[in-house]
Amino acid sequence: MKIEEHISELLFEHDCVIVPDFGGFVCNYAPARIDPVKHLFEPPGKRIIFNKGLTRNDGLLAHHVSGKLKMPYSEALDSIAKEVKRYKDDIQKDKRLTLDNIGLIYVDEKGSLLFQQDNKQNYLADSFGLSAFYHLPVEQAKAENEAKVIPIHNERKSSRGYAAAAVITVLVACTFVFTLIGKKNNMDLSSFNFFAKKEAPQYVFTPSIYKELPKSVEANAPAVNAAVPIPASASFSVIVGSFSIKENADNLINQFNKQSIHLSVIGRNPQGLYMVGYGSFPSHDAATAERDSFRKKFIKDAWIKAN
């Protein structure tokens, strides 16, 4: 019998599971965590420590084993005692003991008994179904999404190849002319761009257009409505992310709501991406203070949107 299976089941419902004559596994609540170096978001969970001083039988583990295996309580205690003896022998012999889905117990150079939790298993019931995810910074995401051009060499060029090249040349010229006409006459000719990328699988903030605007507009935010003056009475929101898939936006919202940071989808931008943000601030200065605080604690590329 492997009693670590029964210990693992009990850790979902209890914050302390004692293995008689061996030690106790004690759980503490751990809030959601953001690793600023790895850009990793982790959901809330339970942090487990091992206390070798908790050896007195409280009956929890023995009763669980007795009920699961349909055996008398006394036999369950005997089975646990045999496993504990094996645990101690393994630690004495190999200086380490691995408990599936729980962690590693080992002896360090000073002879102290230490415990390292297996982080693949989250024992917090409220976090069921949540998993860790990465939020790549803008520059890294842009680098990964850049198209790679692979040259194709063909020693023999057929007449069909020349014809294809001629067609491509004409299309490029048409696209260039249409673009000049559109800029001159303030016309939207995007549908004439035969090479335009129709849909972006992942949002990457690329501030390609800037214009001198009043102080009420965030300088580093995408200039979506740069040509339209924004009234002084406009309110401002802090945008923390944009997603092409709404489920991804909801996942980010749920992660922060667990920390009492209430985000929501405040709309969609002209590219059709779901914008996740919070707040409705009456002034640019107030929004800037909130944005700077959010950047320091969580996401570095948060920006301000004028409503």
Q: What is the mean pLDDT of each run of 10 residues along the chain (307 residues)?
A: 89 93 92 76 86 92 93 93 93 92 91 89 75 66 56 54 64 60 48 44 36 34 39 76 90 88 89 89 89 88 86
How is residue 6 written in tokens?
Answer: 């029964």
DSSP 166: H
Q: Does residue 212 share a domain with residue 193?
A: no
Tell whether the torsion through CA atoms of 287, 290, 293 and 295 is positive or negative.
Answer: negative
Angle at alpha carbon of residue 88, lines to 87 and 92, rounded to 5°: 120
Counted domains in the chain: 3
Q: Does residue 182 share a domain with residue 285?
A: no
Residue type, 297: K
Q: Does residue 172 share a domain with residue 50?
A: no
CA distance 307 to 305: 6
Whether 168 is covered by a domain: the verdict is: yes
Q: Does residue 236 share a domain with residue 218?
A: yes
Residues 6+ apart with CB under 8 A from 296: none
Q: Does residue 68 share a domain with residue 154?
A: no
**pTM score above 0.75:** no
Among residues 87, 102, 134, the one where a domain terminates is 134
Q: Does residue 24 share a domain with residue 97?
A: yes
Whether 139 is covered by a domain: the verdict is: no
Q: Does residue 211 share a domain with residue 104?
A: no
Q: Which residue has the tokens 């198209």?
A: 147
- Structural contact between residues 236 and 253, judged by C-beta atoms closer than 8 angstroms: no
- Structural contact between residues 263 and 240, judged by C-beta atoms closer than 8 angstroms: yes
Whether 142 is covered by a domain: the verdict is: no
Tell whether the torsion through CA atoms of 57, 63, 69 and 70 is positive or negative.
Answer: positive
Dihedral of the CA atoms 95, 96, 97, 100 (nearest 10)?
-170
Q: Does residue 102 share a domain with residue 11?
A: yes
Residue 208's nearest CA partner among 271, 299, 268 is 271
- Structural contact between residues 243 and 203, judged by C-beta atoms closer than 8 angstroms: yes
- Structural contact between residues 221 and 138, judged by C-beta atoms closer than 8 angstroms: no
3-state SS class at 98:
strand
Whether 298 is covered by a domain: the verdict is: yes
Domain that holds residue 228: 199-307
Among residues 134, 165, 183, the one where a domain terminates is 134
Q: Does residue 187 share a domain with residue 221?
A: no
pLDDT of the residue at 228: 44
Whether 306 is covered by a domain: the verdict is: yes
Angle at alpha carbon of residue 271, lines to 265 and 276, rounded to 5°: 20
pLDDT of the residue at 152: 56
How is residue 60 written in tokens?
Answer: 């929890």
pLDDT of the residue at 135: 67
pLDDT of the residue at 216: 34
CB atoms within 10 A of CB 140: 12
- Structural contact between residues 8 and 102, judged by C-beta atoms closer than 8 angstroms: yes
Whether 140 is covered by a domain: the verdict is: no
Among residues 102, 134, 166, the one where a domain terminates is 134
DSSP 149: P
CA distance 121 to 108: 24
Q: Does residue 164 share a domain with residue 247?
A: no
Q: Does residue 125 share a domain with residue 53?
A: yes
CA distance 35 to 42: 8
Q: Does residue 155 share a domain with residue 207?
A: no
Q: Please report, for the domain that includes residue 254, its CATH number.
A: 3.30.70.1070
Whether 91 is covered by a domain: the verdict is: yes
What's the gap between Cα 167 and its chain centre? 45
